[in-house]
Amino acid sequence: MKKITKLLALTLVLAMALSLAACGGSGSGSSAPAAEAPAAGESAPEAAPAEESSEKAEVYLLIKARGDLSFWDSMAEGGDRAATELADKANVHVIETTADAQANLTAMYEAVDKGADLIFTGGDFLDNMMTVADEYPDVAFVLLDEKLPDGVTYPNIYAVQFATSHAGFLAGICAADVAAANGSKVVGFIGGMDEQVIIQECFMGYIQGAKYYDPEVSVVYNYVGAWGDPEKGKTQALAQYNDMGAEVVFAFAGGSGNGVHQAAAEVGKYVIGADSDQSLSYAEHPETQKAFVTSVLKLLGNTIYDLTKQFVETGDLPLGERHILGLAENAVGIVENDLFNEYVSDHGKELIDQATAAVKDGSLEIIGAMDKDQATIQGEIAEMLG
């Protein structure tokens, strides 16, 4: 009996330790091997003498963690690409700091202590970046997918945001096209949370794209109200498919979107993913995989690679400024895989090319939600929906 007691206690302690490891993680502990991973491809940079590192730019990417198949993976992919392709000009370190803001801050200080010239991180760590940028005015910082608070500027922070409305626009064209092929004029949208500019930005593009394809297409929408509730996402998707007659639903809802994918597979209709080519994650679930028309992407990797290249070649970045990058800069896009080619008609593809070209030459302006207050956004969405 005593042995069992001890065993039980041990199990619980283990369980607690596991949970701690998963939640908290330690910045230095988990970051060390990650920092070396990209470096392994270079000529032993850890042992590099001081003079060599002064020639090469030290570039640090602070990400939460790899493996989300989305935002952070896309960043890491850009970092890895820069690490190999720009190896002779820069040491690029991709460091996983977990979601812990304190661990990220520690990693950022470590990076500047090691002589970082350029540091990238995501909008989640805006506060850390402002703190460190203030103390180290000589280091360049790039903030991804977030802007600095109103009225605040730092001479050494370049803020980059992504016009996902552009990608949403293309997704809207795809959705309307696939719906038309199945004799429907209804497309759906399911967002994670209401009144979130990130979602509204994409949603507005989606509506405009669907109407660009055919002004008579109607868009129905739901908000799950949670990022991790697939069951509710499924209920909403079923309502849109079965009761509203939607043929395609665009799921922009994090983990809740999984329920939308499931619903699409069950009723044999279509879905559009977000953040990564989500059809890839369903390789083992073919019936779900083939429900995917496409997925909307932020091409963070492209942006990171381009900016790193620009930095090491010219030593210049538009620091102190903030830019919204879109289709014209190849910073957003949609997945064009076999399923896309199969489902989207030639007419649809033509319209996508046409819209892309029009955005690039400035003849088509896609209205987004960024920098607008909620009242304006809601008004514009209502107007777009008609």
Partner 1 sequence: MLQFLMSPNFWASVLASTTPVLLATLAANIMTKAGLFNLGIEGTMLICALGGVLTSAFTGSLLMGALVGMLLGIFVSFVLGYFILMMNAPMNACGVAINLAATGGTVFILVMICGSKNNSSSLVSSFFPSVNIPLLQNIPVLGQILSGQNFVTYLSWIFVALCYYMLYHTKLGLNIRAVGENEEAARSAGINVLAMKFIALALCGVFCAFGGMYLSMGSMHFFTAGMVSGRGFLSLAMDAIAQGNPLIGCASSFLYGFSDTITVYLQLYSQLDLQLISAFPYLFILVVLIIIQFVRSRIEKKKQQSQI
Q: Which of 349, 346, 355, 307 is nearest to 328 (CA)?
A: 355
Tell me the helices (H) and strands (E) count for the chain, helix number first. Answer: 15, 12
Nearer to partner 1, 60 or 223 (CB): 223
- Asked if 385 touches partner 1 (CB under 8 A), the answer is no
- Asked if 222 touches partner 1 (CB under 8 A), the answer is yes
Query: Among residue numbers 49 through 78, which ones bind partner 1 (CB under 8 A)?
Result: 65, 67-69
In the list 128, 258, 308, 356, the residue contacting partner 1 (rule: CB under 8 A) is 258
Q: Least Å distance between CB 233 and partner 1? A: 10
In the list 120, 203, 213, 223, the residue contacting partner 1 (rule: CB under 8 A) is 223
- Asked if 7 touches partner 1 (CB under 8 A), the answer is no
Distance CA 160, CA 45 (A): 29
In the list 89, 123, 130, 232, the residue contacting partner 1 (rule: CB under 8 A) is 232
- Asked if 40 touches partner 1 (CB under 8 A), the answer is no
In the list 129, 238, 272, 304, the residue contacting partner 1 (rule: CB under 8 A) is 238
Q: Least Å distance between CB 21 and partner 1? A: 6
Q: Which residues, including other chains, have CB under 8 Å from residue 41's CB and lie 6 or more apart?
A: 83, 84, 87
Contact flags string 287-326 toward partner 1, x per CB under 8 A: -x--------------------------------------
Distance CA 379, CA 206 (A): 16
CB atoms within 10 A of CB 126: 19
Distances in whole angstroms, Cα of residue 214 to Cα of each of 72, 104, 178, 218, 341:
35, 46, 12, 9, 20
Contact 156, 319 (CB under 8 A): yes
Q: Find the helix or strand (DSSP H, E) in which 234 lies.
A: helix 230-238
Distance CA 135, CA 132 (A): 5
Nearer to partner 1, 170 or 263 (CB): 263
- Asked if 381 touches partner 1 (CB under 8 A), the answer is no
Distance CA 209, CA 252 (A): 16
Cα 112 from chain centroid? Answer: 26
Q: Least Å distance between CB 369 and partner 1? A: 16
In the list 22, 50, 152, 375, the residue contacting partner 1 (rule: CB under 8 A) is 22
- Asked if 3 touches partner 1 (CB under 8 A), the answer is no
In the list 19, 54, 84, 153, the residue contacting partner 1 (rule: CB under 8 A) is 19
- DSSP result, 38-62: HHTTSS-GGG--HHHHHHSEEEEEE
In the list 229, 247, 277, 329, the residue contacting partner 1 (rule: CB under 8 A) is 229
Residues that bind partner 1 (CB under 8 A): 5, 8, 11-12, 15-16, 18-23, 65, 67-69, 194-195, 220-223, 225-226, 228-232, 234-236, 238-240, 242-244, 255, 258-259, 262, 281-285, 288
